Structure 1
């Protein structure tokens, strides 16, 4: 079963993170990614741009409308997400708990109920 694991953040949180600790934090994340890619349980890991770069795309009366900003009016936004492929929910929970930032922020875990093949 596939799961999406998400880590939230905000600009103030990232700005308060000491610059000298980023190298170690990135190295820990890279090690996590390698470990679970090797087991085949990490399908993909994606870090997102800051919320200021988000856009909303809609279609209204057949015309495309693009506006700036994330959908939700909130300080927190999705900072990164991971696609896991695990044999059980318990295994997905173990992997989510092993994420380097899980001791600082909770990891939101969602089962993927439907997948549409893109390489037909």
Structure 2
């Protein structure tokens, strides 16, 4: 069964982390990624750009309109996501607990398009 793990962040959080701590945190994420890609449970891990680089595309009177920034007005934004293929929800939750992040959302994927 496939699951997506989602991590949110915000600019204040990123800026509050000392450079040496960033290096250790990045190494922990890299180790998690390598371990679970090798096992086949992690299909991919993707970090996204800063929210300031996001674009919203809306259709207005039949024509696309592109605006800056994410649609949601929020202090936190999508920071990265991981695509899992595991045997059970329990295993997905175990992997989420192993991920070196304070908070991880775990969503079942109902179908592939």
With normalisation by structure 1, the TM-score equals 0.91
Query: In 2, distance between residues paired with 1:9 and 1:34?
Result: 22
Q: What's the offset of the Cα at 1:114?
A: 1.2
Q: Which runs of 5+ in 1 are unaligned?
A: none
Residue in 1 that maps onto 2:55: 55
Render the CA deviation track for 1:47-72: whole Å, top value 9, x for unaligned: 01111111101112221100011111
Residue in 2 that maps onto 1:9: 9
Q: What's the offset of the Cα at 1:19?
A: 1.1
Query: In 2, distance between residues paired with 1:35 and 1:41?
Result: 9
Alignment RMSD: 0.8
The residue matched to 1:20 in structure 2 has which SS? helix
Total equivalences in the alignment:
113
List structure 1 runs of 4+ shifted beyond 2 angstroms: none
Which one of 103, 106, 110 corresponds to residue 103 of structure 2? 106
Q: Which runs of 5+ in 2 are unaligned?
A: none
Residue in 1 that maps onto 2:74: 74
Q: What's the offset of the Cα at 1:107?
A: 0.3
Q: What's the offset of the Cα at 1:106?
A: 1.1
For structure 1, which segment, 89-98 or 57-66, has the greater mean C-alpha deviation from structure 2 after superposition? 57-66
Q: What's the offset of the Cα at 1:26?
A: 0.9
With normalisation by structure 2, the TM-score equals 0.97
Q: What's the offset of the Cα at 1:91?
A: 0.2
Residue in 1 that maps onto 2:112: 115
